[in-house]
Amino acid sequence: MKGHPFRRAAIAAALVAGLGSAWAQAYPSKPVTMIIPFPPGGTLDTVGRMLAERLGKQMGQTVIVDNRPGGAGTIGAIAVKNAAADGHTLLFSPSTHTTTPMTMKTAPYDPTKDFAPIALVAKAPLAVAVNKNLPFNDVKGLQSYAKANPGKLSFAIGSTGSAGHLSTELLRRSGNADLLIVPYKGSAPAYQDLVGGQIDGFIDPILGSSQFVKGGQLKLLAVTSKARLPSLPNVPTVGETVPGYEFYSWYGLWGPARLPSDIVARLNAEVNKALATDMREKLESQGLEISGGSVQDFVSFELADMAKAQKIITDGRIRAE
């Protein structure tokens, strides 16, 4: 290319901008794969499938949900990290996407460098659910029982570094309650043992325990949100017993790093559009708090949450097995 170097640079920049615009206009040019790095079932899968269906209708291309469990969510995340940065492979994951690497000696990815954040979809307050036969009905009773029976009250965790794990660690510390942490590979087997009496408690997104609570198989002691939930006005927050206690799981959408900004903006707009439909009412009725907002809103939230999680993980010396 002949001409002044500044002129050549300007032409090159214009070409790149033009390509970005062209990519956005052509996108999506084929079905989009949304990888969910955990097994089917559970809150994450429910929300992800609902979002995939909405995005598919809005964008005129099928959005295929691909469950790729394993490695506490890292296997699915790595698949997206290594995918082409064209917007046709996306990651829908919970907060473990950012916290799991903190618990590993050698992290397989950097959540802030290897992925392009697109949108924060929803926050999920957690439910403190216990076996129906335990002799207490609130958090204060749980703490008293744990102190009187050190190491005998067992709580499941779905995966190391998950929101449920970190919130259980906070609860254990806040009341000097000696809880026995029992790792599980996902929420489904944990609920099976909780209902069966093999373990005593589980802190997990509300949607997961709701069917068992309604069926009288589990007791719901409290929720981890800052305020009581409109859908569960009679259920107290943990913070009513433990001042300042607040914790959420949350669900976000990412693409591979270097995803063109025009495609990121398009996907962000489509997610916000989806969250303005009856999808909002459906999710809120199940105890979730709808988020949405700009890409920068997501980035700010993600970084703040990572800082909070890192402190809990460091103080608790939490490490993946």
Torsion of CA 179, 183, 184, 188, to 10 degrees: 30
Residue ranges and CATH numbers for the domains of the chain are 31-123+250-315 (3.40.190.150), 125-240 (3.40.190.10)
Quote the tokens at residue 163: 């929101």
Alpha-carbon gap, residue 132 to 196, rounded angstroms: 10
Bridge partners of residue 91, in order along the sequence:
35, 254
Alpha-carbon gap, residue 214 to 70, rounded angstroms: 31
Give, in order, the Cα–Cα distances in Å from 74 to each of 49, 160, 189, 319: 20, 12, 20, 15
Distance of CA 281 to the CA centre of its chain: 19
The torsion angles phi and psi of 212, rounded to 5 degrees, stand at: -75, -35
- Count of residues making up the chain: 321
Query: Can you give the pLDDT at residue 6?
Result: 42
pTM for this one?
A: 0.83
Query: Can you give the pLDDT at residue 321?
Result: 66
Query: Can you give the pLDDT at residue 192?
Result: 94
Alpha-carbon gap, residue 6 to 224, rounded angstroms: 56
CA angle 235–92–123, rounded 5-degree value: 25
Rg (CA), the chain: 21
Alpha-carbon gap, residue 64 to 78, rounded angstroms: 18
Contacts of 82 (CB under 8 A, 6+ apart): 256
DSSP character for 199? S
Alpha-carbon gap, residue 299 to 279, rounded angstroms: 23
Alpha helices by DSSP H, the chain = 5-26, 42-59, 74-81, 96-99, 139-148, 163-174, 187-196, 206-214, 261-275, 278-284, 295-315
150-176 burial string, b = 16+ CB within 10 Å, else e? eeebbbbbbbbbbbbbbbbbbbbebbe
Query: Can you give the pLDDT at residue 139?
Result: 95
Alpha-carbon gap, residue 159 to 55, rounded angstroms: 29
List per-block mean pLDDT (blocks of 10 residues) for the chain, which spans 321 residues: 46 47 75 94 89 97 96 94 98 95 94 97 95 96 93 91 92 84 87 96 90 94 93 93 93 97 98 96 87 97 95 89 66
Using one digit for the tens of pLDDT, what is the confidence trace for 116-148? Answer: 999 999 999 999 999 999 999 999 999 999 999
